[in-house]
């Protein structure tokens, strides 16, 4: 009997499963890395050795204003470490420079004051000029070009009014953009509402290139690269974190080549072999990525990649914030079946894209071939059931239900952190 711990909200769900039922425990090799420096030293070293870029100090020296794009409360970027270092580097080189911090919310809700303090630290929140991006604020958004896909590119005006544009973030596998980080800070991070919708259209989401771990020929990435170029993104600091949300590597410099080096490093550690089973247990790696069902679809895609058709994906996620989006919930709950959701969505043109369409499109795709059991005690079960999924309070209950749907001796793949792996 083997005991397995799965990240859940701010703790874990535990289960004991006989080893004969476990086909694979699928994990990234990232957690095997033991850095010989602490997190601050890792970041400082990356800034000391920028990739295809002058040092940040040199970039800051002769400019009057700088803008740092940073991630919002839904991303586990260790901003309380990265932002102070960036600010110090900029101000050491140019004490008179004016610095603004722009929180990249994309289409997410604005973070609360508490969430900002939890993420950035009290000192930064109380002393820095922080702007929260609002994709619907037409006064703050400006058209700057036409994307390769044909859509209009609208960006936060603060990007266009600064002398030095910097982005911090983290690199992880992403379920349709391929990888997070780099240019993604600009689009969708600080782009206009309709620009994000067009970039996340049904046509692109259906592309075989818009998958976890794929950047080449990814139509979503093509638009993102163009957006970063038009924004004039001068410099990035991207980190890679382990399951404890600790920095193990950092990459700084040119927004394209520095990001690509980080991607190459992570791809080597995160790629795992695809061996399908009847039951897959997965998660979103705990809080903050599992705070709602919307975000949890990411972890489900890892389960989808190694679950047999007709099999069961057990998704362990706190979902303390509920479904995570009104359109996301309504489109699933009001549909007769996931197949109907897919049929309706795939008929929509780019300009007909609505908020959260991409998320329910992917969820419907998963549910059209698999049963999903959500494991949580932090959300009303009825919400889950109306979205065509099953509910269990514990992993034990979920596994019992999964075996009733499949077989009592079904083989199981376990992915403790579904968002951290690239299943080939």
Phi-psi region of 319 (alpha: psi -120 to 50; beta: other; left: phi over 0): left
Q: How much is the pLDDT for 234?
A: 98
CATH architecture of 2-28+273-423: Alpha-Beta Complex (3.90)
In this prediction, what percent of the chain has a pLDDT beyond 70?
100
Please, which residues bridge with residue 315 across strands?
282, 374
Question: Residue 404: CA atoms inside 13 Å, Cβ hemisphere, count?
Answer: 8
Residues ≥6 apart with Cβ < 8 Å to 352: none
d(CA 171, CA 178): 10
Q: What is the mean pLDDT of the chain?
A: 96
| Among candidate residues 237, 245, 283, 274, the one with its CA nearest the CA of residue 70 | 237
Six-digit token string for 50: 């920028």
Q: Which residues are catalytic?
A: 108, 174
* CATH class of the region 33-269: alpha beta
Instruction: Please report, for residues 29, 269, 281, the alpha-carbon distance to residue 241 in angstroms, rounded to integers and kept in the order given.
Output: 12, 12, 22
CB neighbour burial string for 220-245, b if at least 16 within 10 angstroms, e if fewer = bbbbbbbbbebbebbbbbbbbbbeee
Residue 206 corresponds to which tokens in the numbers above? 């259906």
Give the pLDDT score at 1: 58
- Do 234 and 253 meet the contact criterion of CB atoms below 8 Å apart? no
Q: For the chain, which ranges sit under pLDDT 70?
A: 1
User: What pLDDT, on a 0 to 100 scale, did the predictor assign at position 353?
Assistant: 94
Q: Which residue has the tokens 């929260």?
A: 132
- Specify the pTM: 0.90
pLDDT, residue 28, reads 93
pLDDT attached to residue 273 = 85
All CATH 3.40.50.11440 domain ranges of the chain, comma separated, are 33-269
- Where in the chain are all domains bearing CATH 3.90.226.30? 2-28+273-423
* Token output for 23: 């086909």
> pLDDT tens-digit profile of 3-53?
899 999 999 999 999 999 999 999 999 989 999 899 999 999 999 999 999
Query: What pLDDT, on the 0 to 100 scale, is given for residue 390?
Result: 98
Q: Which of 152, 200, 157 is nearest to 177 (CA)?
A: 200
Output the pLDDT for position 243.
86
Contact call for residues 217 and 209 (beta carbons, < 8 A) = yes
């Amino acid at each position: 009997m083997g005991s397995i711990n799965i990240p859940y909200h701010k703790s874990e769900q535990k289960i004991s499963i006989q080893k004969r039922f476990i086909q694979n425990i699928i994990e990234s090799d990232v957690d095997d890395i033991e850095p010989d420096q602490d997190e601050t030293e890792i970041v400082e070293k990356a800034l000391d050795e920028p990739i295809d870029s002058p040092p940040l100090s040199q970039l800051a020296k002769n400019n009057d204003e700088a803008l740092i794009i940073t991630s919002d409360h839904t991303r586990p970027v260790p901003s309380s470490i990265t932002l102070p270092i960036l600010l110090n580097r900029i101000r050491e080189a140019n004490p008179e420079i004016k610095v603004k911090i722009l929180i990249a919310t994309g289409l997410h809700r604005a973070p609360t004051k508490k969430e900002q303090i939890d993420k950035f630290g009290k000192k930064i929140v109380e002393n820095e000029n922080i702007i929260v991006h609002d994709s619907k604020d037409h006064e703050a958004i400006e058209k700057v070009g036409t994307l390769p896909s044909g859509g209009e590119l609208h960006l936060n005006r603060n990007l266009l009014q600064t002398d030095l544009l910097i982005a911090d973030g983290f690199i992880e596998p992403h379920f349709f953009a391929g990888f997070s980080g780099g240019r993604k800070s600009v689009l969708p991070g600080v782009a206009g509402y309709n620009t994000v919708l067009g970039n996340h259209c049904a046509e692109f989401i259906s592309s075989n290139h818009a998958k976890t771990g794929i950047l080449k020929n990814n139509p979503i990435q093509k638009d993102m690269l163009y957006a970063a170029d038009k924004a004039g993104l001068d410099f990035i600091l991207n980190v890679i974190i382990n399951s404890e949300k600790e920095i193990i590597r950092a990459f700084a410099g040119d927004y394209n080549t520095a990001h690509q080096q980080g991607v190459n490093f992570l791809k080597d550690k995160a790629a795992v072999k695809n061996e399908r089973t009847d039951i897959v247990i997965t998660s979103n790696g705990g809080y903050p990525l599992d705070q709602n069902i919307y975000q949890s679809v990411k972890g489900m895609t890892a389960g989808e990649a190694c679950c047999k058709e007709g099999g069961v994906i057990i998704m362990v996620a706190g979902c303390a914030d509920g479904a995570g989006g009104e359109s996301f919930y309504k489109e699933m709950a009001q549909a007769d079946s996931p197949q109907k959701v897919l049929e309706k969505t795939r008929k929509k043109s780019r300009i007909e894209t609505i908020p959260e369409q991409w998320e329910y499109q992917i969820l419907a795709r998963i549910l059209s071939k698999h049963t999903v059991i959500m494991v949580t005690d932090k959300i009303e079960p009825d919400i889950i059931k109306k979205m065509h999924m099953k509910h269990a309070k514990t992993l034990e209950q979920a596994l019992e239900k999964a075996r009733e749907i499949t077989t009592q001796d079904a083989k199981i793949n376990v992915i403790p952190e579904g968002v951290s792996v690239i299943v080939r």
